[in-house]
Chain A
Amino acid sequence: MADVVRRPGGARDTGEPGEPARRWYRRPGNWVAVVVFGFFFVNLAGIIGVPLADSLGTRWFTSWLPDGWTTKWYGSAWREFSLGQVFWTTALVAVLVVAVSVVIGVTSAYALARRGFPGKKAVMLLFLLPILVPPLTYGIPLATVLYKFHLAGTLTGVVLANLVPSVPFVVLTMTPFIEQIDPRIEAAARMCGARTRSVMLRVLAPLLVPGILAASVLVLVRTVGMFELTFLTAGPESQTLVVALYYAVFSAGIRTQQSIDAMAVMYTGSMLVLLVIALRFVNLTQLVTRVREETPRQPGDG
C-alpha cells in the first residue's frame, strides 16, 4: 500500500529519510481498517451466502449447508410470482423515469449553471429538499394526492412518484458538470453564426453526453432500488421488482422460502449488473462536488 503522504517524486518507498521504514502492520490505523473491513466482509458474505445457498438447495434445516443442490426454485419463482411481467414493469418504469428526469433535469441544470439570478438560492434549496427528505415523509402526502387524482395504482403514478427524487438528482449532478464547460465555446459557436438549435445539438449535446450517461445510470440504479415511493403508489399491476419481493416476503406462508430467496437473488443479481455498469461510467468519489465561490459574472458573459 502506498504511503499516506505522496512523495514529491512519486516514489513508492514508504520510509522517510532518517525514520526507519514502518511496515503496514506496524500502524494502528491499518489494523482498525483491516478489522472493520474484515468484519464487514465476513458478515456481508454470510448475509449474501444464506439466501444464495437456500435458493440453490433442496432442503436446509439446521446443518451448515443444504442437503442437496438444485436450480428448480428459480423456475418456480419465475412462474409463481409472474416475474416476466414484474421485470417488464420494472424496466418500463426505470426507462421512463430516466428519460423524463434527464430531459427536465438537464434543461434546469443548464439554466442554473449559466445564470446567477435573484432567488437562485431558493431554487437550489427546492432541488435539494427532495433528496434530503427521506421518501417516506413526502411519500405519504404524495400518495394521498395521487390517490385523489386517481393516479396511484397506475404506471403513471409510479413513474410520477419516482420522478420526484430523480429530477433533483439529475439537476444536482449536472449543474457542476455544465459549469465546467466553458461558456466561451457556445459564444464562439454563435459568433460563427450557429443558431440556438445547432448550438444545442452540435456543440452542447456532445459535451454533455458523459455527464448525462453518468446521471442516467445513477437514476436507473436508484429507481430500480427505490422501495418506499413505489410501494406507496403501486397497484397490483404496476409493482416493480423490489415491491413484488416485499409482498412475497410479507405475505409469505403458502410460498416456499426457497423461491422467495431465488427471487431476492435475481433482484440482487440485476442490481449488481447495473452497479458494475454504473461504476464504469461514474467516479463515485467525485459525487460530492464542493460548492465553489461564485465567480463574479461579467455582464454579457455567456
Chain B
Amino acid sequence: MSAADAGGAPPGHAGSGPGAAGGPPPPAPAHTGGRPALRHRLAERGVDRTLLLAAPGVLFLVVLFCYPLLYGVGLSFQPQKGGGALANYRRFFGDPYLRGTIWTTLRLAVPAALVNCLAAVPVAFRTRAPFRGRRLVTTLLVMPITLGTVLTAEGLLGYLGPNGWFNKALLGIGLVDHPLDLVHNYWGVLASLVITGFPFSYLLTLSYLTGIDPSLEQAAATLGAARRHRFRYILLPLLAPGLAITFCLSFVLAFAVFPSAQLVGDPRGSTHVISIEAYQAAFQSFDYSMGSAIAMIMAAVMLAVVAIVLAWRSLLYRGATGGKG
C-alpha cells in the first residue's frame, strides 16, 4: 500500500490501487501527505462526531426492539414440548381452531380499516377549509382517542346491549320488533374498532388532503371542471397514495385488537382473534415459545397485507402534490 501511495503509482495501476476501494477516488495523492486523513474523508460523506448523537437512540432500539424480536424468532424455533424446530408452526397451522384465528382477525380488521378510511374522506373534505367552529368539530372528532378501550367497551356493552339506548330507540321507532344482538359478538368488536380507529384515519386523511396544493383545483375549475370532476380527476388521484398509507395504519391498529375482543366480543368463539391466542399461549399457559411463534405469524400476516397494499400504491402517482412541505 505504501508503495502505491508514495512516489506516484504507475499509470497502469491507478485504478486498482487500494485508494479506489469504496467511495469516490480521493484527489491525486500528494507526495508528502498521502491521501486526506480518514477523518476528513468520512466527514465528507457525513460521518463525524455529530453522528455520535444518534448512537444512544440506535443502541436503545437495538437492545430493546431488535434483540427481543430476534430472541422471539429464535425462541419460536425452540418449542418447549420438543418435536423439531418447526413444531410450533406445525401445531398452529395443523389445528383448525388456531389456524382459524388468522381468518377471524382479518375478518375484523379489514372491514374496520375500510370503514374508517371511507368514512374519513367525506368528513376530512368537509373540515379542511376553515369555518366557524372548526376547532371544536376537530376536537370532537379526535376525542375517541381519549376513551380508551375499556370505557369504549363498557359504553358499548351498555349502549348496544339488549336494554341499551340504541335498541330502545330502534324499538321505539318500530324499526325492529325485538332487540338486536350487538354485543358479545362480531358486531360489538367491529363497532369498538371503528370508534377507536376513526380519529387516526381522520387525522391522517386530513393532513394528506391539506397537503394538496389548492391551485391545482383552482386551475381545473378555471378550465371548467365541475366539482365532481375535480374530485374524481384531481383530488382522488393525489389523495390515493395517502389513503393507502392510512389504510395500512388503520389495518395494523385493528389487526392487533386485544382488549375489545376480550371485553365486548366473544373471546372463545367468533372473536377469538390471534392476539388473544398469542397472549394466552405466552402468559396463561407460560409457553413463551408458542407465544413468540404466534406473534411472529401475526407480524407475517400483517406485513403481507401491508405489502399488498403498498404494492398497489406503487402503481399510483406519487410525485409532489405541491402543498405544504
Which residues of A pack against B, CB within 8 Å?
A: 1-6, 8, 16, 27, 29-30, 32-34, 36-37, 40-41, 43-44, 46-51, 54, 61-62, 64, 104-105, 107-108, 110-112, 114-118, 120, 123, 126-127, 129-130, 132-138, 140-145, 160-161, 163-164, 167-168, 171, 221, 225, 227-228, 232, 242, 245-246, 249-250, 260-261, 264-265, 267-268, 271-272, 274-276, 279, 284-290, 292, 297, 299
Within 8 A of A (CB), among B287-306: 288, 291-292, 295, 298-299, 302, 306
In the complex, B9 has a CB within 8 A of chain A: no
- The answer to whether the Cβ of B187 comes within 8 Å of any Cβ in the partner chain is no
Q: Mark B18-32, 1 if CB is under 8 A from A, else 0.
A: 000000000000000
In the complex, what residue of chain B is closest to A221 when comparing beta carbons?
B145
Distance of B106 from chain A, by nearest CB (Å): 14
Asked if A4 and B129 sit within 8 Å, CB to CB, the answer is yes
Q: Which residues of A contact B262 (CB under 8 A)?
A: 250
Does B176 interact with chain A (Cβ within 8 Å)? no
Could you tell me how many residues of chain B have their Cβ less than 8 Å away from some Cβ of chain A? 105
Docked-complex contact A144 and B325, CB < 8 angstroms = no
- Mostly, the B contact residues are helix
Establish whether residues A36 and B119, one from each chain, have CB atoms under 8 Å apart when the complex forms: yes
Residue of B64, B159, B227 near A46 (CB, 8 A) is B159
Contact for B143 among A44, A250, A265, A299, CB less than 8 A:
A44
20 residue pairs bridging A and B, Cβ less than 8 Å apart: A3-B129, A4-B125, A37-B123, A40-B198, A43-B166, A50-B164, A104-B60, A107-B56, A111-B50, A111-B53, A118-B46, A136-B298, A137-B256, A138-B65, A140-B278, A144-B291, A267-B148, A268-B146, A275-B139, A279-B142
Given A2-B130, A115-B51, A249-B263, decide whether A299 and B44 contact each other with a Cβ distance below 8 A: yes
Name the one of A30, A127, A144 contacting B61, with C-beta atoms under 8 angstroms.
A127
Is B247 on the interface with A (CB-CB < 8 A)? no
In this complex, what residue of A is CB-closest to B127? A33
Q: Which residue of A lies closest to B72 (CB)?
A: A141
| List of B residues within 8 angstroms of A46 by Cβ | 155, 159, 164-166
**Contact call B263/A117, Cβ cutoff below 8 A:** no
Across the A-B interface, the 9 shortest Cβ-Cβ residue pairs:
A141-B72, A108-B57, A134-B256, A47-B155, A50-B158, A271-B146, A111-B54, A33-B126, A117-B46
Q: Is the CB of A167 within 8 A of B60?
A: yes
List residues of chain A with CB within 8 A of the CB of B207. Answer: 284-288
What is the CB-to-nearest-CB distance from B69 to chain A, in angstroms, rounded to a whole number? 6
Given contacts A46-B159, A141-B292, contact A134 B56 (CB under 8 A): no
Residue among B123, B195, B259 facing the most chain A CB atoms (10 A cut-off): B259
Instruction: Give the residue name and chain of the A residue nearest to B289 (CB).
Output: A144
Residues of B within 8 A of A47 (CB): 147, 151-152, 155-156, 159, 195
A59 to chain B, nearest CB (A): 13
CB distance from B170 to the nearest CB of A (A): 12
The answer to whether A250 and B122 touch across the interface, beta carbons within 8 angstroms, is: no
Complex Cα distance A131/B115, Å?
22
A143–B71 alpha-carbon span in the complex (Å): 11
- Please determine whether A108 and B56 come into contact, CB atoms closer than 8 angstroms: yes
Q: Is B86 an interface position by the 8 A CB rule?
A: no
B56 and A265 contact, CB distance less than 8 A:
no
Contact with A along B179-203 (1 / 0, CB 8 A): 0000000000001000100100001
Give Cα A114 to B163, complex, Å.
60
- Chain A residues contacting B288 (CB-CB under 8 Å) are 140, 144
In the bound complex, what is the Cα–Cα distance between A245 and B152 (angstroms)? 12
Of the candidates A29, A114, A134, the one whose C-beta lies within 8 Å of that of B252 is: A134
The smallest C-beta distance from A251 to any residue of chain B, in angstroms, reads 12
Select from chain B the residue with minimum beta-carbon distance to A271: B146
User: For the complex, is B210 an interface residue (Cβ under 8 Å from A)?
Assistant: yes
Asked whether B159 lies within 8 Å of A285 as measured between CB atoms, the reply is no
Note all chain B residues with C-beta closer than 8 A to A127.
Answer: 57, 61
Binary contact track B103-141/A, C-beta < 8 Å → 1, others 0: 000000000000000010011011001110001001111
Q: Which residues of B contact A114 (CB under 8 A)?
A: 50
Q: With CB as the reference atom, state the residue of chain A lying closest to B226.
A: A19
With A6-B218, A29-B125 in contact, do A286 and B158 touch (Cβ < 8 Å)?
A: no
Separation of A48 and B203 alpha carbons in the complex (Å): 21
Of B150, B258, B324, the contact of A245 (CB 8 Å cutoff): B150
- Chain B residues, Cβ within 8 Å of A3: 129
Cα distance A250–B279 in the bound complex, in angstroms: 15
Within 8 A of A (CB), among B62-105: 62, 64-69, 71-73, 75
